[in-house]
Structure 1
Amino acid sequence: MLDFAIFAVTFVIILVGAVLYLYPSSRRASGIPGLNPTDEKDGNLQDIVNKGSLHEFLVSLHQEFGSVASFWFGGRPVVSLGSVSTCTNIYHTVWMITMLKSLLGYQSGMGGGANETVIRKKVYESAINNTLKNNFPLVLKLVDELVGKWKSFPDAQHTPLCAHLLGLAMKSVTQLALGERFRDDSDVISFRKNHDAIWSEIGKGYLDGSLEKSSSRKAHYEKALSEMESVLLSVAKDRKAQRKQTMFVDTLLQSSLTERQIMEDCMVFTLAGCVITANLCIWALHFLSTSEDVQDKLYQELDEVLGSDPVTLDKIPQLKYCQQVLNETVRTAKLTPVAARLQEVEGKVDQHVIPKETLVIYALGVVLQDSDTWSAPYRFDPDRFEEESVRKSFCLLGFSGNQTCPELRFAYTIATVLLSTLVRQLKLHKLKGQVMEVRSELVSTPKDETWITVSRRS
C-alpha cells in the first residue's frame, strides 16, 4: 500500500489546492452516513485504489449511502455530496486554478491575503475574455484549416478525433495565450511534448501515488516542467519588450503581477485550457456522430442564424441549440467529475452538520447522471435543456452562468466555432463496433483513440 503520508498530502492538494490542517474530528464524521475506515492508518485509501479511480469510488459510495456520505483519509473524515440539491455554490474557478497552482508548487494568491487572491483571479479571467475578443479571426482560421483537411479525406477514411482535436486545442491555446511564437507547428509540437508529460502525471501519477515510486518518471516530469516554465518566462519577457496588447500574456503584463506570477498563470491556462478544450470538442463530435437527428437540427439552426457567413463572437449567444449540444456533452461525458473545497465555516446539508475545516467533495460525475435530476441520464439528448428546470440545475452545478470556470468558457467558444464550421460542411458518422471507455481523472478523457468518418453534405 502507498505510504499514506505521501498520498494524503498530494491527494488533498489536488482536491483543494492547499495543505490542509484539519481540526480534530469525531469518529462518526458528525453523524453523516458512510464508510468506516478499513485501515486505522490509511482510512479508506485501499477502497479508492480498488475501485480504480476516485470517481468510481464515489459512485459506489453514494449508491450505498445516499446523496450525503462520508469516508476517511487516515484519521480524518471527508464528506461527499452527490445531488444537485447538496452541490450548490460550487466555484470551479477556485477549483481548477487553485488546484493546479498548488499541485505545481505555485502560490495561489499574490501573497497578501484573500483580497489579492480575488484580484489575481479577476485578472486571469479578464485575460481570457480579452484574448477571445482580440483574436477571434485567428480561431476561425485554425478551425478552417482543420475542417479543410477533413474535407479532403475520402468518405471511408477513419479520422482520429483525439489526435486532431488535441492539436487544434494546442494551437488555439498557445497562439492565443502566447502569440505568434507558436505559429510554427514545430514549436507547438515541442510545447505539446512537455505539456503531455506534465498533464499525464497530474492526471494519474499524483492521484495514485505512482509518481513518487518512480525516480525516472519523476525526473522526466520535473524536466518537462522546468523546460515549460523557461519557455513561458521567455515569452513573457519578449512580449513585454514588444509592448503588444492582444494575447492572454499581454493582459497579465499590464497588471501588477510579478514575472513569476505571470508565468504561473500562463502555465495554468495552457495546461487546463488545452485539456478541457480538446476533450469538450472530442466528446461533442463523438456524440454528434451517434445521432443524425441532432446533427440535422444543429445544421438547421446554423443555417438560419448564420446562413453562409462564418460565426462571429456576437452571434454565438444566438446559437441556442448549439449551446444545448455542448451542455449535454459536458453532462453526458462527465467532463469534470470531481470538485472540492474546504468548509470555511460550520455548515449544514440536509439534516447533517458539516464542521468547519472539513474537506467537502462534490461528486459531479455522480450528480450529472443522477436519475432523480435527469431523465434517461445516460442518453445524449440536447433537447432536455429546453426545460428551465434542467438549465437551472446545470447552472447550480457551476457549468453555466457567472460561476463557469474561465477555461470552460474558452473551451465553449472554440467548440462553438468548430461545430458551426464543421456541421455546415460535413456529416459525422460513428465507426461501427467502436466501444468508448473513459478515464475519469481531473478531466474525463477517452481511454483510447476515438475514430469517426466524415462525408460531405450534399
Structure 2
Amino acid sequence: MLDFAIFAVTFVIILVGTVLYLYPSSRRASGIPGLNPADEKDGNLQDIVNRGSLHDFLVSLHEEFGSVASFWFGGRLVVSLGSMNQLQQHINPNHTTDSFETVLKSLLGYQSGMGSGANDSVIRKKVYESAINNTLKNNFSIMVKEVEKLVEKWKSFPDAQHTPLCAHLLGLAMKTVTQLALGEHFREDAAVISFRKNHDTIWSEIGKGYLDGTLEKSSSRKVHYERALSEMESVLLSVVKERKIQKKQTVFVDTLLQSSLTEQQIVEDCMVFTLAGCVITTNLCAFALHFLSTSPEVQDKLYRELQDVLGSDPVSFDKIPQLKYCQQVLNETVRTAKLTPVAARLQELDGKVDQHIIPKETLVIYALGVVLQDSDTWSTPCRFDPDRFEEEFARKSFSLLGFSGSQTCPDLRFAYTVATVLLSTLLRQLKLHKLEGQVMDIRSELVSTPKDESWITVSKRS
C-alpha cells in the first residue's frame, strides 16, 4: 500500500535519474497510449515545464489519452495511472515502494541506509513511525497549548479584521513541530525564528531549481541553500548530542536515540520530520479553515459534534477517535485540495493493467491528484462535501490511496492530529467567515499550497 504521496517534478527527476543509472537496459518502448518524446534528450520535460507542474501535466495527459497513459522523461518511458480501478490493479501485487522519506533524503544528499537491505529499511521505517506516534501521545498538551495561544490571539481581533491563514498557521506548525521533534529549547520564539529561516530556504530550493537547473546556474543561490542546510544539520546534531546526554524520553528525537540508529541517521530523520511536518501541517490546516469558512453548514455540523463529544472540556488524545465528522472534514480537505497530488513506484517485474503490459523497471506514476478529482469515483468531485465519507466506498478508496488507515504517511498522521486540535479548539469559540470575492487557487507541487495568502474573518460565538 502507499505510505507516501508527495512527489513532484523534482522527485521524478531524481528517481528517474537513479533508475537510469541503475537500470540502463530498461528503456523499452510500450504500446501504452501517450505522448511521443518532444526532445530526444529531455523527452517530455519541456511539456511538464510548460504546464507549470507535474500534476497539471498529468491532468492534461489523462484527458487526452485516458486512465493509463505514457510519456517520456529523457530516454525513459514513464507510465501514469489516473483512475481508481487502474491504481487498484497495480497496487495489489506491488507491495514494496520507496517511501517519501527515502526520496527526500536522496534530494538532501543523504546516503546512510540507502543501500541497506529490505529488512533494515523496514525496521528504520517502523522506528520513524513509532517515534511520531510516541511524540503525539507524550506531548499532546504542548500541541493544545500552542493552539490555544493562536485562538486567544484571533479572539482579540475585531470581527471585520482580515486574518491571514497561511502566515499564522505556518507559525503554529513551526512551533508545534520543532517542540515535539526536538524539545523544549524551541519554546523560545528566537530559536523557532532562526530555525524557520533555514527551513524555508531548504524547502524552497527542493521545490524549485532542480527542474530547470537554476540552482546550479546561480552560485549565490546554491551557496545560500548549502549554508542553510549546513546550519540546519548543525542545529539538529547539537540537539541529538544534548538529548543523548540528558537521556530524556519525551520527544521525537528521544525515541530515535533509544533505537540502534546511528547519529547521522537520527539527524536525517529529524530533518525529514521537521521539513515535511511543517509544510504538510500548515497546508492541511489552512485548507481546512478556508473550506469551512466557505461552508457554513459544514462548520455548524462540525460544531455540533464537538459540543456533543467534548462539551466544554479541552480536546484530549483519547477523544480524537470519537470525532468522526472532524475526520471526514479533514479527509475531504485532503481530497478537495489534492494535498499530496503525485506518488510513484518502480515496476519491479513485468506487470499488467487492463490490457496494457508495463515492462519491468518502468517508472509508474500514481496521478493521485487526477484520481481525487475523478467523477467516476467521487460524485461532484469539485464540491467540498465531507458527508461523502459516510459511505464505505469513499472510505475504502481513500484508504487505498494511502490517505487513511494503517498505511497513512506518518507525517500526514501528525498533521491530522494538529488539525483536529485546531478545529476542536477554534470552532467552539469562533465562527469562520469567507471574504467575498476571494478565490483560493491551488498550486500543486510537492505539497499543494494556496498560490496566494488566504484570508478569512472570525467572530466570537455567543
Is the TM value for this pair above 0.5? yes
Conserved? CA contact 1:12–1:19, under 8 Å: no
Q: Is the 8 A contact 2:97 2:346 kept in 1?
A: no
Among 316, 323, 326, which residue is 2:327 paired with? 323
| Contact 1:110-1:120 within 8 A present in 2 as well | no
Name the TM-score, length of structure 2 as normaliser. Answer: 0.94
Q: In 2, Cα distance between the equivalents of 1:9 and 1:342? A: 16
User: Structure 1: where are the runs of 5+ without partners?
Assistant: 1-6
Corresponding residue for 1:388?
Answer: 392
What is the rounded CA distance, in whole Å, between the counterparts of 1:207 and 1:175 in structure 2?
33
Q: Which residue of 2 aligns with 1:4?
A: none
User: Which letter does structure 1 place at the counterpart of 2:64?
Assistant: E
Shift of the alpha carbon at 1:12? 2.9
Q: What SS class does the counterpart of residue 128 from structure 1 fall into?
A: helix
Determine if contact 2:9/2:53 at 8 Å carries over to the other structure.
no
Structure-2 change in CA distance of 1:306 and 1:18 (3 Å)? farther
* Residue deviations 1:7-29 (CA, integer Å, cap 9, x gap): 999743267987752353566x3
* Corresponding residue of 2:381: 377
Do the aligned residues in 2 keep the contact of 1:134 with 1:247 (CA within 8 Å)? yes
1:154 to 153, 158, 169: 158
Structure 2: give runs of 5+ residues left out of the alignment. Answer: 1-7
Aligned to 1:22: 23
Deviates more, 1:329-338 or 1:209-218: 209-218
After TM superposition, give the deviation of residue 86 of structure 1 in Å: 2.0
Q: Which residue in the other structure is 1:31 paired with?
A: 31
Residue in structure 1 matched with residue 5 of structure 2 by the alignment: none
CA distance in 1 between partners of 2:104 and 2:208 (Å): 14
Instruction: Give the TM-score taking structure 1 as reference length.
Output: 0.95
Answer yes or no: is the 8 Å Cα contact 2:38–2:44 preserved in 1.
yes
Counterpart in 2 of 1:83?
83
| Cα deviation 1:336-373 (Å, max 9, x = unaligned) | 01111111222211111111111111111111001111
Deviation at 1:410, TM superposition (A): 0.3
Moved over 6 A (4+): 7-10, 15-19, 90-93
Q: Determine helix, strand or coil for the equivalent of 1:315.
A: helix
Paired residues, number: 451
CA distance in 2, matches of 1:136, 1:16: 41
Q: Which residue of 1 aligns with 2:296?
A: 292
Q: Cα distance, 1:402 vs. partner?
A: 1.4
1:364 aligns to 2:365 (yes or no): no
Q: 1:33, 1:69 within 8 Å by CA — same for their partners in 2?
A: yes
Q: In the aligned structure 1, how far is the partner of 2:22 from the partner of 2:340?
A: 26
- Distance in structure 2 (CA, Å) of the matches to 1:244 and 1:93: 34
Per-residue CA distance 1:61-101 (angstroms, 9 max, x = gap): 00011111000012110001111122243989943201110
Structure 1 counterpart SS, 2:211: helix
Q: Where in structure 2 are the equivalents of 1:295-310 lying within 5 Å?
A: 295-310=299-314
Aligned-residue offset at 1:435 = 2.2
- C-alpha deviation, 1:208, in angstroms: 3.8
Please report how far the alpha carbon of residue 52 of structure 1 lies from its aligned counterpart in structure 2 after TM superposition: 1.1
- Alpha-carbon spacing, 1:234–1:93, altered in 2? closer, same or farther (3 Å): farther
Q: Does 1:190 find its partner at 2:194?
A: yes
C-alpha change, 1:10 and 1:210, in structure 2 (3 Å) is farther
- 1:264 paired to 2:268: yes
Aligned to 1:45: 45
Q: How does 1:320-359 map to 2 (within 5 A)?
A: 320-359=324-363
Q: Aligned to 2:382, what secondary structure does the other structure show?
A: coil
Q: Take 2:339 and 2:332, find their aligned partners in 1: how far apart are those partners?
A: 10
> What does residue 415 of structure 1 align with?
419
Q: Which amino acid aligns with 2:139?
A: N
For the structure 1 residues 119 and 347, does the alpha-carbon distance in structure 2 shift closer, same or farther, using more than 3 Å as the test? same
